[in-house]
């Protein structure tokens, strides 16, 4: 091999390894510092366990709402040409570029208890400020873009001819969507949901403003708590060891969820793999 090529490959290898190291080493440091005892402490701490349970509930609600609203929007952006589509695509990416503390402030201004919108949602039994729906709203804001963008890509990649064939084989528009489009786009949508979930769970800035403490409001009927990330942030100043243990546990939970979803994707979802009518 030419010397220049060897040098270029070596340099590319070093640069790539540096970035991979940057990704992995902090996590390794976290687990090394926490150790088994730190993890056990976090797992046994009632305050953190409550915060973790709350976060899983809120993130599940947020991802559900994200899928409900983001998948249709992704479909529309992928399949239809209309005036203003480019503007709409830009709007979808706004949450990715706005600092999330700013997101919290914006949402607070809109949903503050004494604001018209805040009073309206409270009257509907959906309080936002310092409530589970505030956390859900922040998670939705910071993460739903991923569902929209990945769904859009997934729907765009579904071959028109496959749909055409399905229709000529007797499938109505709804049946063709359910039996062909959705299964073909399922993996992309799933990826978007995972990204949204991960983004929501890792959020701090928006929660600090809109839902620093979460008071019991349905569907959260537990004690007063925080989002797990806020709990860790609070404890970092009081008890760094507890914060590190909780962080490591949160990483483990996230990895476990990723693993379960990926396993399901590999082995399950029969409907998406041709067994729809089985």
Partner 1 sequence: MSLLEVVDLRADRGSFRLGPVRLEVPPGSATVLLGPSGAGKTTLLRAIAGSLPLAGGSVRLDGAAVEALPVERRRFGFVPPNLGLFPQRRVRDNVRYPLALAGAPDAAAKAANWIERFGLTDLRDRYPHELSSGQRQRVAMARALAAEPRALLWDEPLAALDVESRDVLVRLLRDLLETERLPLLLVTHDPTTAFALASRVVVLDSGTVRRDCTPEALARGPLDRFVARFLGYENLYSASELARAEGASLAPRLIAAAGPGGLVVPPEAVRWRPGPEGPHAAQVAALRWTAAGWVVALRHGSLTFHVATPGATPGVRIGDRVGIDVEPAELKPLTGVPSNGSP
The contact set with partner 1 (CB under 8 A) reads 159, 161-172, 175, 179-180, 183-184, 272-277
Minimum gap (Å) between residue 272 Cβ and partner 1: 6
Least distance between partner 1 and beta carbon 170 (Å) = 5
Q: At 218, is the secondary structure helix, strand, or coil? A: coil
DSSP label at residue 113: T
Largest CA distance in the chain: 73
For the bound state, the minimum distance from the C-beta of residue 68 to partner 1, rounded and expressed in Å, comes to 23
Closer CB to partner 1, residue 123 or residue 161?
161
Comparing CB distances to partner 1, the nearer of 85 and 273 is 273
Q: 220 pairs with which residues across the strands?
A: 217
Cβ at position 148, least distance to partner 1 in Å: 23
Taking the least distance from each CB to partner 1, the nearer of 23 and 80 is: 80
For residue 24, report the phi and psi dihedrals to the nearest 5 degrees: -90, -40
Give min distance, CB of 266 to partner 1, in A.
13
Please give the Cα distance from 256 to 151 (Å, whole number). 24
Beta-carbon contacts of 173 under 8 Å, excluding residues fewer than 6 positions away, are: 167
Closest distance to partner 1 from the beta carbon of 176 (Å) = 8
Q: Which residues of 213-230 are buried (b: 16+ CB within 10 A; e: fewer)?
A: ebeebeebeeeebbbbbb
Do 212 and 233 meet the contact criterion of CB atoms below 8 Å apart? no
- Helix (H) and strand (E) counts for the chain? 12, 0
Q: How many CA atoms lie within 13 A of 35 on its CB side?
A: 3
- Residue number with CB closer to partner 1 (46 or 174): 174
CB 70 within 8 A of CB 191: no
CB of 174 to partner 1, least distance (A): 10
d(CA 117, CA 187): 36
Which residue, 56 or 272, has its beta carbon nearer to partner 1? Answer: 272
Query: Based on CB atoms, which residue is closest to partner 1, 258 or 276?
Result: 276
* Closer of 120 and 276 to partner 1 (Cβ): 276
- The structure tokens 């959260």 sit at 220
């Amino acid at each position: 091999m030419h010397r220049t090529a060897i040098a270029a490959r070596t340099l590319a290898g070093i640069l790539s390894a540096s970035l991979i190291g940057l990704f992995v080493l902090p996590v390794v440091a976290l687990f090394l510092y926490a150790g088994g005892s730190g993890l056990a402490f976090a797992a046994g701490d009632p305050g953190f366990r409550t915060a973790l349970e709350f976060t899983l509930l809120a993130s599940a609600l947020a991802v559900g709402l994200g899928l409900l609203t983001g998948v249709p929007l992704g479909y529309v952006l992928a399949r239809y040409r209309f005036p203003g589509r480019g503007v709409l695509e830009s709007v979808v990416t706004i949450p990715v570029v706005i600092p999330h503390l700013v997101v919290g402030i914006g949402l607070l201004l809109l949903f503050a208890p004494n604001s018209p919108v805040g009073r309206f949602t409270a009257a509907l039994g959906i309080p936002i400020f310092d409530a589970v729906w505030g956390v859900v709203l922040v998670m939705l804001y910071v993460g739903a873009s991923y569902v929209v963008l990945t769904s859009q890509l997934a729907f765009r990649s579904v071959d028109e001819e496959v749909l055409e064939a399905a229709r000529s084989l007797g499938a109505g528009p709804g049946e063709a969507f359910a039996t062909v489009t959705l299964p073909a786009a399922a993996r992309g949508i799933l990826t978007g949901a995972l990204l949204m979930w991960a983004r929501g769970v890792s959020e701090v800035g928006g929660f600090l403003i809109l839902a620093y403490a979460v008071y019991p409001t349905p569907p959260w009927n537990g004690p007063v708590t925080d989002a797990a990330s806020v709990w860790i942030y609070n404890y970092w100043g009081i008890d760094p060891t507890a914060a590190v243990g909780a962080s490591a546990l949160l990483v483990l939970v996230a990895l476990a969820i990723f693993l379960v979803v990926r396993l399901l994707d590999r082995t399950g979802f029969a409907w998406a793999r041709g067994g729809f009518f089985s």
